[in-house]
Amino acid sequence: MSQTQIENAADHEKAEAPLIVTRDLSVHYGAVQALNQISLNVSEHLVTAFIGPSGCGKSTLLRCFNRMNDLIDHVKTTGKVTIAGHDIYRSDIDVVQLRKKVGMVFQKSNPFPKSIRENIMYGLRLHGMRESNRLNEVVESSLRSAALWDEVKDRLDTNALTLSGGQQQRLCIARAIAIQPEILLMDEPASALDPVATAKIEELILTLKERYTIVIVTHNMQQATRISDKTAFFYLGALVEYGNTQAIFTNPKNRQTEDYVTGRFG
Amino acid sequence: MAFATAIILAFAAVILSNILWQGWEAFSWRFITSRADQNMFDSQQAGVLQMIAGTSARVVLMTIFVMPIGVITAIYLTEYARKDSLLTNLIQSAVNNLAGVPSIVFGLFGLGFFVNFIGGNLDLILRPEQAAPYWRNPALIWASLTLAVMTLPVVIVSTEEALKAIPPGLREASMALGATRLETVIRIVIPQALPGIMTGGVLAVGRAAGEVAPILFTGAAYYMSGYPSHLTDQFMDLGYHIFILSTQSPDIEGTRSILYATVITLLLLTFTLNLLTILMRARIRTKLRTFH
């Protein structure tokens, strides 16, 4: 299996410039192993989808890229993750700066119970922006980028929790891109939304990929085929197959992948 | 269930009406606005203004002492500490045990620790020349600190509950934007938990206002002519005064009406202090809900 992984990884290094590189990355939660020696490359300005049954480790891997796993007690990470050449698990890495470069959108939309404007300004203020003209400019531009501006421009000062589920999730995307990350991690961003709201998020992802490198975890196979360029299939903490989305879905090399994408298990 | 409720309501009604019945005659504006000077036991002239001042002062000071320590402890326990570490378990069980200690034990602890140990050492350090103890006396500050130790578990537990009720997703969202844990606590967690923290304050005030045992040896005065004006002054206290009126009076029958009027005053003061915190909490809640 790891031989395939390395070959897969080697293929990509030739094709596109890898932005995120993991080598033999393993994660343990206490005695439970969540990820087993993952080696893969994520290319710049592509949408990479992580698929696999629940508990396969895809979210854990996503959370390695901005070190959100650090927040959990008893988590042990071994192996290497580099982003743009920097080993992000080195002890002298500034996690605050890392998370500024690597934004994240969560499965359950989690806007702060503050106004829409305050939600966007939160990250900006954290990173030292004080001037109110500049802040308001970024509020507008990020809401426009998240395709939310027209819906909320007249009520920027109302509580974000009054928005619909889909709007809240787009607000979370706007909040993440306001601080100008290079990478956007999305952990099943549309799993709690209705089909219309999901379509909007997917449309948004396709426009965002021009500016950001996007890694998305999804349970929805159609979604993966619609929006992603590359797909990685995980099973029981291991990377089973990784390649162009089309190839994974139409001509998978591995039997497990084929069973999963055709809906025979998972 | 309805029967149990009826019994509780009946008891409350009997107790309250008994107090009102016996104290109504002596309870008046003059009673709560005049001082008890040489006439403490004189039902026509005695007042309770000093006691109101003393009890209010010790409750307010206690709140100032207990809230920061209790809230910071709860924040440490829920936001920072590992849930299964030895230290966390030690603190948790200490908090739980503290809640079960009888209040007279806190009174003795306050005398031994605050008055004698802290006060005694302050005298040694700050006033080595003087022979007469200045800090090593029962005082407003020591009584308030003793009450603060007593109400600490109440504040810690209700703050912990408030913090646990905040969705973890909010913390993750904040930290994923590059906030440190401290920034997340200050900007997201505490504002959200404020109503719950204030509930802790309400409970602490309610618990402390009527307590006499913890202040018996640490600050309450049988009688003093003026008001406490320094942290090192002793003070007269409504609860302690009720004890005095019911046991030390030369004419128990004659002072019964002012005894019950003092009880009414203490109840009203406790209700007022609670009401103030509840109103403040309600204001914060509406502010959080509508925001701007």
CATH value at residue B105: 1.10.3720.10
Is B243 among the domain residues?
yes
Rounded to the nearest 5 degrees, what angle is found at the Cα of A194, between the Cα atoms of A191 and A200? Answer: 90
* C-alpha pair distances (Å), B165 with each of A30, B91, B189: 26, 21, 10
Is B284 among the domain residues?
yes
B contact residues 37-96, partner A, Cβ 8 Å cutoff: 82-84
pLDDT tens track for B67-105:
999 999 999 999 999 888 899 999 999 999 998 999 999
For the record, the structure tokens of B44 come out as 């026509």
**What is the nearest CA distance from A158 to chain B, expressed in angstroms?**
7
Size of interface A-B (CB pairs under 8 A): 70
Provide the β-strand partners of residue A75: A29
Distance CA B231, CA A27 (A): 56
pLDDT tens track for A96-125:
999 999 999 999 999 999 999 999 999 999
Residue B179 is nearest to which of A104, A126, A176, comparing CB atoms?
A126
Q: Do B82 and A73 touch (CB under 8 A)?
A: yes
Residue A96 is nearest to which of B82, B173, B180, comparing CB atoms?
B180
The mean pLDDT of A14-29, rounded to a whole number, is 84
Provide the β-strand partners of residue A76: A28
For the record, the structure tokens of B235 come out as 């003070």
Per-residue model confidence (pLDDT) at position B275:
87
Residue A175 is nearest to which of B177, B179, B291, comparing CB atoms?
B177
Cβ contacts of A122 on chain B, cutoff 8 Å: 174, 177, 187
Is B245 among the domain residues?
yes
Distance CA B264, CA B256 (A): 13
Mutation target vs B (from A106, A112, A180; most B CBs, 10 A cutoff): A112
- Report residue A4's pLDDT band, with 50, 70 and 90 as the boundaries: low
The mean pLDDT of B261-268, rounded to a whole number, is 93
Is B54 among the domain residues?
yes
The alpha carbon of residue A152 and the mean position of all alpha carbons in its chain are separated, in whole angstroms, by 25
Domain that holds residue B136: 23-162+192-290
pLDDT tens track for B160-182:
999 999 999 999 999 999 999 99
The mean pLDDT of A74-100, rounded to a whole number, is 92
Domain count, chain B: 1
Q: Which residue of A has its CA nearest to B173?
A: A110
Residue B167 is nearest to which of A71, A96, A110, comparing CB atoms?
A110
**Average of per-residue pLDDT values in chain B:** 90
- Do A81 and A20 meet the contact criterion of CB atoms below 8 Å apart? yes
pLDDT tens track for A154-176:
999 999 999 999 999 999 999 99
Cβ contacts of B177 on chain A, cutoff 8 Å: 99-100, 103, 122-123, 126, 175-176, 179
Q: Please state the φ and ψ torsions of residue B145, each to the nearest 5 degrees.
A: -65, -40
Orientation of helix A116-126 relative to helix A132-145, angle to 10°? 110
Return the DSSP state at B220: B
* Residues of chain A above pLDDT 70, percent: 93
Per-residue model confidence (pLDDT) at position B278:
83
Per-residue model confidence (pLDDT) at position B54:
94
Cβ contacts of A179 on chain B, cutoff 8 Å: 177-178
Is B153 among the domain residues?
yes
How many Å from the N-terminal Cα to the C-terminal Cα in chain A? 20
- Do A200 and A146 meet the contact criterion of CB atoms below 8 Å apart? no
Cβ contacts of A112 on chain B, cutoff 8 Å: 170, 173-174, 188
Q: Do A122 and B187 touch (CB under 8 A)?
A: yes
Is B143 among the domain residues?
yes
Is B197 among the domain residues?
yes
* C-alpha pair distances (Å), B129 with each of A174, B64, B122, B136: 68, 32, 12, 14
ipTM: 0.87
Per-residue model confidence (pLDDT) at position A13:
46
The b-or-e profile of B106-121 (16+ CB within 10 A means b, else e) is bbbbbbebbbeebbee
Indicate whether A217 pLDDT > 60. yes
* C-alpha pair distances (Å), A6 with each of A21, A84, B49: 12, 19, 84
Per-residue model confidence (pLDDT) at position A1:
44
Is B255 among the domain residues?
yes
- Do B188 and B79 meet the contact criterion of CB atoms below 8 Å apart? no
pLDDT tens track for B20-58:
999 888 898 998 888 887 778 887 888 899 999 999 999
Would you call A38 helix, strand, or coil by DSSP? strand
Indicate whether A12 pLDDT > 80. no
pLDDT tens track for B117-162:
999 999 999 988 888 899 999 999 999 999 999 999 999 999 999 9
Topology (CATH) of A2-109+182-261: Rossmann fold (3.40.50)
> Side chain identity at A14, as an amino acid letter?
K
Q: Do B292 and A157 touch (CB under 8 A)?
A: yes
Per-residue model confidence (pLDDT) at position A264:
76
